[in-house]
Structures are given as structure tokens and as C-alpha cells.
Amino acid sequence: MKNTDKISITAALTAATCTLLGTTALQPVQAQEEPGWDFNTSLLYYAESDDRVQDLSLKTLSRRTFVDDRILSLGLTVDALTGATPNGALPQSFPQTFTKPSGKNTFTTPPGEFPIDDSFRDTRVAISADWEQPLGRLYAMNVGVSASAEYDYLHLGVNAKLSRDFNNRNTTLSGGFAFASDQLDPVGGVPDPLTQMRNVRDDDDGNGGRASNDSKEILDLVLGITQVMSRNFLMQFNYSYSDSSGYLNDPYKILTSVDPITGEAVPVPQIPGTEGPSHLNYYENRPDTRSKHSLYTQGKYYMNGKVLDASYRYMTDDWEIDSHTIDMRLRWPIGDDKYLEPHLRFYTQTAAEFYQISLVDDGQPLPEYASADYRLADFDAITAGLKFGWKTGGGNDMSVRLELYSQSGNVSPSQLIGSQADQDVYPDMDAIIFQYSYMFGK
């Protein structure tokens, strides 16, 4: 049976209607759907190897487009975090015991393993609101507020951006700032920097005389240029400056103090009737200011249907960390409502000047700053992933992406003492990122 579904009967139907209604011609219909809300929802499963951090996250972004391109965006994120990151202490050839941050009990790590406090549970809720609107024909502005809360952390932030078009919208200059004020309420109080890990206590207020909280402020400035290179090629260049000040330490991170010859953790005599750390370790300390500069350039290139998205970022800061990031995606359409998007990302960074894998118990005074947090070390990371997107029957967009992210550290031999040389001193990590997202609405 020939397919009559695709034939247009509009002309015949219009003629028959005009005859029926006795009119010669009908004015063409003028109807347009009022843009309503459109929604972008996603479920993320992030899990690191050997049961370190796991995050199950639900994100929604609701956008309401008002007449003349004025847009309100409301964001909500709920993260359920379990598992924990290494606390900075080094694995030893013997078991080690540590006091938990709450100061109420201890946990023991078997030999050869990175000490991890797995009692870590956290639920994080983040909300954001953002208003975007053109100002006249050449300017556009964007203002937003954000807030997020965890059991030990509260973030409040504002941001604003102004952009202006030049030479027929081929060049757009934009400038923006973001200011955040965060407050930390660590479990067991704020540890005094570079002091020894405490024994278990049973005093009532739980903080053992420590300050209960501390705060930090972050100011971000971004200057950007978006430049149309050709009909298929668009580029963006951003310079951003970020200045943080206040309590920048991680309250739960420590450094193992080792014997200057053997490189092994120094045991701590345990007074009978008390419980506490089995070996010598100190809480970390970082400078209370940090200023970062970064240059970012991104290009989008259209190759009859396929879109290449490549970006490079260079960052340097006054903690002597330099980093390079290369990120590439290629969107490969399949038919007219599906696509595949492979993703490749390379990242490398140098260590912070005060990063060290351990302290040395040689009677000398402790350094002013020291941290064994693996995120401040010299390491490389690679992300490889694939995203598949498709249009649903109702014309909405769905997508699924699966990515592997792996970090590997490079600790310079000069830092290694005694037995550390033939031991694992950097907690390499692999993680999977699985995200399903569904865009529907208007």
C-alpha cells in the first residue's frame, strides 16, 4: 500500500474548508507556543577504586525563558557521598592505629595499605539561581547566587558577568567576578596546625578545647574573548585570577613523621588506659592565602555534521603548582537524532612547594607549612570516555556517558628516605564516571 502518510493534504483541505465556509481566503494562523520551563536532569555515579570515595548525585537544572531572551535558571544538586580519601599517612610494613576525627575512637590500618578513615558519610545539597538577560543590542549580563551545605561545610557565593559584542557579534568581550564565603565545622573541631594527632578523649564538648569552626573567602575574576574565526570555527580565550584567603587546610589530613635513617614511622609509646595513634603524625598546615592565574583557550570546529571541541588550560599559583590540561571531544552524529561523543582529557601538575610525603623526626623544628595531601603532589591524570545521546519519541534529549579517570603520582626519589624507596608512597587512583541525563520540557 503506498505510503500516504507523508503526502500534504493541506491545499485540498483548505480549498474544501473555504467552500464549506463560503469564504474566498483565510488569514494564515498566527500561533506560537509560550516558552515554558525546560528541564535538564541527571543522575551521576562516581566511584573510585579500592572502595575509596563513592558519590551518587542527582542534579537538576530548570530554565524558564521569558520574552526577549531573558532566562532564569534554577539548579539543585544532591550528593550522597560514602568512602573516604587517604588521610595523608604513609603505608608501613606494620599495622598503624589512628584516632578518628571525632576523637571518640580509633581505627587500625593493616600493613602495606594507605590509611583511610572509612567512617565518612556525607550528604551535600547545593542550590543555585541565575538570571541572564540582554542589555540593549550589544551588552548582556548574568547574575547568580549559589549555596551548598554539608555536615561540616557551608558555602555561600555570588557571581556576575557582563559581556559586549563587537564587529557584528564576531568578537565578544566578557568580564566577570565570583565571590564565595565558606565556613568549615570539622568533626572534632579545627586541629591546631602541625600539632600531634590527639589521643581518644571523652570530654563533653567533643572538640577538646579546639576552635569549632573556621572560614575562608575566594574571589574569582574572569576576562574572556569569544572570537568567530570562520563560519564553522569559533574560539574562546579566558584569563582568570583567583585569590583565596583564610583557613585553606584540610582539617582531616595528617603527615607521618618517620625515622631519618630507616624511613619508617616512629612509634608512639601508649600510656596505659589511654587510646590513641600508634605512631607519630602531625596535622598538616598550608599557607592561609593562595592566588592562582589561569589561561584557557577553547575551539569548536564544525566538520559537516561532526563537531570537534578542544580546549587547553594553563594554571600557575603562588604555591608553585603549574598545571596543563588538554580536553578533546568529538561529537559524531548517527542519523539525525543520535550521536556518539568520545572524550579524552590529559592533565598534569607539579607539586606544591610544601608538599612532602612525610615529616622527619630528627629533632629539627617542623617546617612552617607541610602537607601530604595527594592532590597537592606532582601527578598526571587521564580521562577517557564515551557519551551516547539520542532523541526520545516525544522529541526530548537523553544521553548516557561512561568515563574512566586515573591519576598516577610522580614522587621524586630525592624525597624518599630509607625503606620508603621500595614502597608505594603515592595513592594512585582510578575512578569511573557514569552519568545519565534527560532534557525535556517546552
Partner 1 sequence: MRQLGLLSAVLLLSWQASVADNATFNITDHEGKVVVLDFWASWCVPCRRSFPWLNEMHAKYGDDGLVIIGVNLDQEQSEAEAFLQEFPAQFQIHYDESKALATQYEVVAMPSSYVLGPDGEVLKRHYGFKVKKQEEYEAAIVAALEKLK
Partner 2 sequence: MIISRFVAVLLALGILSGCSSMGVEPWERDVLAKEEMQLTTDAIEAATDDHIYFSKEASSGGRGFGGGGCGCN
Partner 3 sequence: MSRVRPDRSIRVDAGDRCLRGQFSAMASPCEVLVDSDDIVAAERLTSLVADEAWRIEDKFSRYSPGNIIDRINTAGGEGVQVDDETAQLIDFSVTLNELSDGRFDITSGVLRRVWRFDGSNNIPTRHAVSDVMKHIGWHRVDWTSPILAMAPGMEIDLGGIGKEYAVDRCAGLLRNTTDAACLINFGGDLVATGKPRLRDAWQVGIEALNAQEQKSDRLVNLVIGGLATSGDARRFLMHNGIRFSHILDPTTGWPVPDAPRSITVAADSCTQAGMLSTLGMLKGAQAEAFLDAQGVQFWCNRGDGAVP
* Contacting residues toward partner 1, per CB under 8 A: 10-11, 14, 25-30, 32, 67-69, 137, 168-169
| Cα angle: 5, vertex 10, 11; to 5 degrees | 130
* Cβ–Cβ under 8 Å, residues 191 and 100: no
Shortest Cβ 393–partner 3 spacing (Å): 7
Strand duo 171-184 + 139-150: pairing:
unpaired
**Interacting partner of 209 out of partner 3, partner 2, partner 1, none (Cβ under 5 to 8 A depending on kind):** none
- Residue 4 vs 230, nearer CB to partner 3: 4
Q: Could you tell me the maximum CA-CA distance found in the chain, to the nearest angstrom?
A: 106
Q: Segment 36-75, which members bind partner 3 (CB under 8 A)? A: 36
* Residue 295 in contact with partner 2, rule: CB under 8 A: yes
* Cβ–Cβ under 8 Å, residues 227 and 171: yes
- Residue 181 vs 419, nearer CB to partner 2: 181
- Residue 114 vs 405, nearer CB to partner 2: 405
- Residue 419 vs 434, nearer CB to partner 2: 434
Which stretch in 203-211, 276-284, 413-421, 431-439 sits in contact with partner 2 by CB under 8 A? Answer: 431-439
Residue 191: strand pairing partners: none
Q: Segment 325-364, which members bind partner 2 (CB under 8 A)? A: 325, 331, 339, 347, 349, 352
Reading the block at residue 257, the C-alpha cell is 613523621
* Cβ–Cβ under 8 Å, residues 100 and 126: no
* Cβ–Cβ under 8 Å, residues 72 and 62: no
Shortest Cβ 70–partner 2 spacing (Å): 17
* Cβ–Cβ under 8 Å, residues 366 and 359: yes
DSSP secondary-structure letter at 357?
A: S
Which stretch in 134-142, 224-232, 369-377, 391-399 sits in contact with partner 3 by CB under 8 A? Answer: 391-399
**Interacting partner of 137 out of partner 1, partner 2, partner 3, none (Cβ under 5 to 8 A depending on kind):** partner 1
* Cβ–Cβ under 8 Å, residues 435 and 401: yes
* Cβ–Cβ under 8 Å, residues 331 and 303: no
- Residue 131 vs 312, nearer CB to partner 2: 312
Nearest to 120 by CA among 133, 135, 107: 107
* Residue 140 in contact with partner 2, rule: CB under 8 A: no
Provide the residue type at 188 as one letter: G
Reading the block at residue 45, the C-alpha cell is 555515579
Nearest to 209 by CA among 111, 103, 309, 124: 103
CA gap 259, 304 in Å, rounded = 64
**Interacting partner of 242 out of partner 2, partner 1, partner 3, none (Cβ under 5 to 8 A depending on kind):** partner 2
* Residue 271 in contact with partner 3, rule: CB under 8 A: no
- Which sign does the torsion angle of CA 416, 417, 423, 424 carry? negative
Nearest to 217 by CA among 154, 167, 161: 154
Shortest Cβ 331–partner 3 spacing (Å): 23
Provide the residue type at 324 as one letter: H
Q: Segment 241-280, which members bind partner 2 (CB under 8 A)? A: 242, 250
Reading the block at residue 396, the C-alpha cell is 526530548
* Residue 396 in contact with partner 3, rule: CB under 8 A: yes
* Residue 407 in contact with partner 2, rule: CB under 8 A: yes
Q: Segment 166-185, which members bind partner 2 (CB under 8 A)? A: 166-171, 176, 178, 180, 182, 184
- Residue 119 vs 170, nearer CB to partner 2: 170
**Interacting partner of 347 out of partner 3, partner 2, partner 1, none (Cβ under 5 to 8 A depending on kind):** partner 2
* Cβ–Cβ under 8 Å, residues 189 and 206: yes
- Residue 201 vs 324, nearer CB to partner 2: 324
- Residue 99 vs 437, nearer CB to partner 2: 437
Shortest Cβ 363–partner 2 spacing (Å): 32
Residues of this chain that interact with partner 3 (CB under 8 A) are 4-10, 12-14, 16-17, 19-23, 26-34, 36, 392-396, 440
